[in-house]
Amino acid sequence: MSQELVYERGVEDAKQFARILYVAHALTFFFSAGTLSLLVLIVNYIKRPDTAGTMVYSHHTWMIRSFWWYAAWFILAGVIFFTFIGIPLAWAIWGIAWLWMAYRIIRGFIDLNNNKPMPV
């Protein structure tokens, strides 16, 4: 078996695992507003070094950055919830952040299936 075939199989396995992580992120955001996604994030950090030099690496980075930006907006909305600006603005921020995260998960999944790296 040539080295190229082994490399291609490794990349396909990494792509399949990244697909599973996209689905896991989507399920955790749907069922827990992202709080359980912390577990999936840990797996992203563990698996990302294994994909160095491939386009799958950019997908792990995309998922990691998506999580942290979502968390930042979610926390900001939580702070606003308890300040003078109040509840309506916090709900608006949470809603926009959730839609943005849904977009990031869907776009990443589609680009992974089309063998396109994510912008990093």
pLDDT, position 6 = 40
The domains of the chain are located at 3-113
Per-residue pLDDT tens, the chain, 120 aa: give them.
444 434 566 789 999 999 999 999 999 988 887 778 899 999 999 999 999 999 999 999 999 999 999 999 999 998 988 886 688 888 999 999 999 999 999 999 999 999 999 987
- Closest-CA residue to 59 (of 110, 97, 96, 98): 110
pLDDT, position 8 = 61
Distance separating the N- and C-terminal Cα atoms of the chain? 34
Which residue type does 25 have? H
